[in-house]
Structures are given as structure tokens and as C-alpha cells.
């Protein structure tokens, strides 16, 4: 006879096995009355959207060191924030992060609202993040439904319908398990379970606190769940990137338009990215191939970039020369950093 999954069983496991994370208040500290800082919870949740804990840690520490409060972040320069986010991906998050910090500072007196609807009205905060902040920062009994919770719910209830069709059903199941007390600990507990025990491949069912309640395990299909609709194949696009240095050693870069791919980020001038790109050098110069092409895969296409290099002092129509001293490759999104790595040996 299968047992019933209980939030108490999971909370008991969490009390012993909670991960220590830079933004987290441990269950023991919570019990002694320590409350999380909503700013840090919000920042961590935005960074964690579609991003691994390992990748987020250093960025979180850097951001909180540079901007300790939401007001500090609201007053920051856009370019500095985008540069600090470089490498973390999904750059709309950084643009919305700044918008959100400024709305919270200007319209909410620098205090994050503590209800879901107000939170979800803020830029970059959707259904998941509003629930996560409500639960983790304010201990409100909201139900978080992220990829972890979807996987855990689909397994313990053996939901065989594929995502995203099954999402409403998984939400109903998740809500039924959400306790009224210790909502913040519970939300983090179920996500920790998904991240450390109930993993996508080879789940560690033997040490799962919900082992005896898991219908997927009983049926022997836990590791196959959740089922997902097949993905579409990625097309390959091509492009040309132009790396130009002037006689002062400055590099020609441009800030990309806010909308679209790598929006708001620094990058090398280039052609369009298409099946058959049209060359578009930023200035007339003696362009030479760098000798290496750059390969990079985005979420929905593969990119092969031809890298061209030149030295010239002509004033370009687009972009600006960034002085040698203030140019940091780490300020670039990864694909643009790869372009620099492919080009730089030609300037040595």
C-alpha cells in the first residue's frame, strides 16, 4: 500500500539536507526568526530563471557586492549592469532587472510589495517568480511550479501526459501539497528535492523522503517522467563579425539595440545572421580573415561566424571605439567573447 506524500515528511528532510546557498536563510535560522531580504530573494530568483545554481553563485555575489540594495541597483548605470550580467545569458532579464529595481524604488518606496499580483506586475516577474518571492521572502502559502516541481509532481503522481499540456494538472497537484505554514521552507524544499534527489536522469530514489509515496517509482517509470513533446530541430545561420582596432589600440564595439537577441549588450559590428548573410563592414578598410571561425549555439539556432579583422582610424557610422584600458572581454556576451578570442592573435 502506497503512502501519501506529506509536506511534513519533505520539511523534515529539508531540515537535515537543505543546501547552503548565498541567498538562502537556512531552516534553522528561519526558525529562530531571521527573515530573508526580499531584494536578495528577487535577485536570486531572476538569475535562477532557466539557469543553474552553479552558474548563478558568482554573479549573485558580484551583484550584491556592487549593489547591496534595490536602491543602489536602481541608481546604477545601464551599461555597468549589462556588463556585470555578461555571460549569464537571457539578457532581457538584466534589462528587466533594472526596470524592476527602478519601479520598486520610485513607486514602492524601495520596498518590494508582498502580494503576488503586485509582484507579477513588475518587469521580469511572471507566475513562477511572483510565487517564489511570496513564499520564500514573505512566507506566504503560494505554490511554486518550476521545472523541479513539475518533475517531482509528475513522478509522485505518475502523470504520463506530456508537458506543457500537463502543466495545469501538475499545478493542481502541487497546490494540494503546499502547506499553510513554513511556505518558504517548503518551496525551497521541493525544489531542492528536484535538484538533488529527483533529478532528470538517474534519480536517487533510494534516499528520497517521498519514496514510499511515489507512484512513478512504484510503476517503474519515474525516470521517464515528465514526458515532453518533441523539440524542433535547430537551423544553422551564418554571419560575419568585424573586429577593428585603431592606432591607439581602441576597439570598435557597438551597443546592440534593446530588443531582440543579445539586446542591450556590447558586441562587434557584423552582418545579419542568416542562411546567406550580406557583408556589412563598419568602415572601409583592408579586412582580412582572422583564420578561425566561431561556432556558437543559441536556444533556437546554430551560428557560424566568419571573423574579419582590420586596423584603421576612420570614424565609423555605427558603434564607438572603446579605449584599450577600459576594454574587458568579460563585459561581452559569450558569443562576442569567442569572436574576440578568434581575432586577438591577429593583433599581437
Partner DNA sequence: GAGACGTGGAC
Partner DNA sequence: TGTCCAAGTCT
User: Which residues are known catalytic residues?
Assistant: 45
- Grid cell locating 61: 555575489
- Grid cell locating 38: 526580499
- Grid cell locating 124: 521580469
241 binds DNA (CB under 7 A): no
Q: How many residues does the chain have?
A: 348
> What is the smallest separation between the CB atom of 199 and DNA, expressed in angstroms?
6
> What is the smallest separation between the CB atom of 191 and DNA, expressed in angstroms?
4
324 contact partners, CB below 8 Å, separation of at least 6: 248, 249, 250, 251
> CB–CB of 306/295 below 8 Å?
no
64 binds DNA (CB under 7 A): no
- Exactly one of 180, 206, 231, 286 binds DNA (CB under 7 A); that residue is 231
Tell me whether residue 214 or residue 262 sits nearer to DNA (CB atom): 262
Helix (H, G, I), strand (E, B) or coil at 41: helix
Tell me whether residue 2 or residue 19 sits nearer to DNA (CB atom): 19
Dihedral over Cα of 237, 240, 243, 244: its sign: negative
- Exactly one of 68, 126, 257, 323 binds DNA (CB under 7 A); that residue is 126
> CB–CB of 23/60 below 8 Å?
yes
Tell whether omega for the bond before 226 is within 30 degrees of 0, i.e. cis: yes
17 binds DNA (CB under 7 A): no
- Exactly one of 128, 141, 211, 311 binds DNA (CB under 7 A); that residue is 128
Tell me whether residue 170 or residue 312 sits nearer to DNA (CB atom): 170
- Exactly one of 4, 175, 284, 334 binds DNA (CB under 7 A); that residue is 334
Tell me whether residue 48 or residue 174 sits nearer to DNA (CB atom): 48
132 binds DNA (CB under 7 A): yes
Tell me whether residue 132 or residue 310 sits nearer to DNA (CB atom): 132
Q: How many CA atoms lie within 13 A of 234 on its CB side?
A: 11
Print the binding letters for residues 32-51 with DNA: x by CB under 7 A, - otherwise.
Answer: ------------xx--xxxx
Strand partners for 295: 304
151 binds DNA (CB under 7 A): yes
Alpha helices in 178-317 (DSSP H): 183-196, 215-219
11 binds DNA (CB under 7 A): no
**Torsion from C-alpha of 267, 268, 272, 277, nearest 10 degrees:** -150
Q: Residue numbers of the site for DNA (CB under 7 A)? A: 21, 24, 44-45, 48-55, 87-92, 96, 123-130, 132, 146-148, 151, 164, 188, 191-192, 194-195, 199-202, 228, 231-234, 260-263, 296-300, 333-335
Amino acid at each position: 500500500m502506497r503512502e501519501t506524500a506529506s509536506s511534513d515528511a519533505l520539511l523534515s528532510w529539508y531540515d537535515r539536507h537543505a543546501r547552503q546557498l548565498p541567498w538562502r536563510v537556512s531552516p534553522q535560522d528561519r526558525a529562530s526568526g531571521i527573515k530573508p531580504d526580499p531584494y536578495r530573494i528577487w535577485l536570486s530568483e531572476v538569475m535562477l530563471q532557466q539557469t543553474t545554481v552553479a552558474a548563478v553563485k558568482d554573479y549573485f555575489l558580484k551583484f550584491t557586492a556592487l549593489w547591496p540594495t534595490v536602491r543602489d541597483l536602481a541608481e546604477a548605470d545601464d551599461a555597468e549592469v549589462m556588463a556585470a550580467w555578461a555571460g549569464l545569458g537571457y539578457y532581457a532579464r538584466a534589462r528587466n532587472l533594472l526596470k524592476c529595481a527602478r519601479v520598486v524604488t520610485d513607486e514602492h518606496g524601495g520596498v518590494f510589495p508582498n502580494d503576488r499580483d503586485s509582484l507579477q506586475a513588475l518587469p521580469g516577474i511572471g507566475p513562477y517568480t511572483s510565487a517564489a518571492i511570496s513564499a520564500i521572502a514573505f512566507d506566504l502559502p503560494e505554490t511554486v511550479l518550476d521545472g523541479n516541481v513539475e518533475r517531482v509532481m509528475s513522478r509522485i503522481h505518475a502523470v504520463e501526459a506530456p508537458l506543457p499540456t500537463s502543466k495545469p494538472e501538475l499545478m493542481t497537484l502541487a497546490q494540494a501539497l503546499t502547506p499553510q505554514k513554513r511556505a518558504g521552507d517548503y518551496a525551497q524544499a521541493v525544489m531542492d528535492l528536484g535538484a538533488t534527489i529527483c533529478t532528470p536522469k538517474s534519480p536517487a530514489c533510494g534516499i528520497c523522503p517521498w519514496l514510499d509515496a511515489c507512484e512513478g517509482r512504484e510503476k517503474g517509470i519515474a525516470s521517464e517522467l515528465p514526458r515532453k513533446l518533441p523539440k524542433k530541430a535547430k537551423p544553422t545561420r551564418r554571419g560575419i563579425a568585424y573586429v577593428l582596432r585603431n592606432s591607439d589600440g581602441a576597439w570598435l564595439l557597438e551597443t546592440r539595440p534593446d530588443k531582440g537577441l543579445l539586446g542591450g549588450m556590447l558586441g562587434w559590428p557584423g552582418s545579419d545572421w542568416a542562411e546567406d548573410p550580406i557583408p556589412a563592414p563598419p568602415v572601409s578598410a583592408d579586412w582580412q580573415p582572422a583564420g578561425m571561425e566561431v561556432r556558437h549555439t543559441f536556444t533556437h539556432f546554430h551560428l557560424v561566424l566568419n571573423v574579419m579583422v582590420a586596423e584603421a582610424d576612420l570614424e565609423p557610422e555605427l558603434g564607438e571605439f572603446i579605449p584599450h584600458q577600459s576594454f574587458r572581454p568579460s563585459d561581452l556576451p559569450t558569443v562576442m567573447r569567442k569572436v574576440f578570442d578568434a581575432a586577438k592573435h591577429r593583433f599581437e
